[in-house]
Amino acid sequence: MCTLCRCSHTLRAMPTKKKDSYAIAVGERLAAARKAVVPAMTQSKAAELLSKSLGKHITAATISGYESGHRLPHVFLVNALCSIYGTLTPAYVFHFDNAAETMQESNLLKYFRSADARDKRNITNLALHALNGLYPKSTDSE
């Protein structure tokens, strides 16, 4: 078993003999992401979209097993679900980071990194201007 992603590196999900806290936490994050999709997505719809994405048959029971913590999905399955849901990253699902980086944040970072120097300056100036409006400088004297 891989200690980094806790998978067995096969095409099957890792079944758990009993629900452990890690599998439950991963499942809760997947369920929350599915339910956050607008309009709300059912497990059946998620299974249908995942089947199309992967080119193999996935059932609603499989999605239920992941979300309930009975099965721990492989990284490629979580990556596909994150793309379908569009609301979170695999790193967040697997607790590889402490902060929840949304797909929007991830895309913003990708766009910033691909921008030329002038665009990076403009983006930075715009962000600083917006932050100054949220957090005005203190006028207290020391």
Contact 88, 102 (CB under 8 A): yes
Residues in CB range of 1: below 8 A, 6 or more apart: 7, 8, 14
Adjacent-strand bridge partners of 15: 71
pLDDT at 55 over 50: yes
pLDDT interval class at 128 (50, 70, 90): confident
**pLDDT value at residue 111:** 84
Spans of all domains in the chain: 14-101, 104-134
DSSP result, 79-126? HHHHHHH-S--HHHHTTSSSS---HHHHHHHHHHHHS-HHHHHHHHHH
Look up the pTM and report it: 0.58
- CATH-assigned architecture of domain 14-101: Orthogonal Bundle (1.10)
**pLDDT value at residue 102:** 67
**pLDDT value at residue 99:** 54
Q: Name the least confident of 35-44, 75-84, 132-141.
A: 132-141
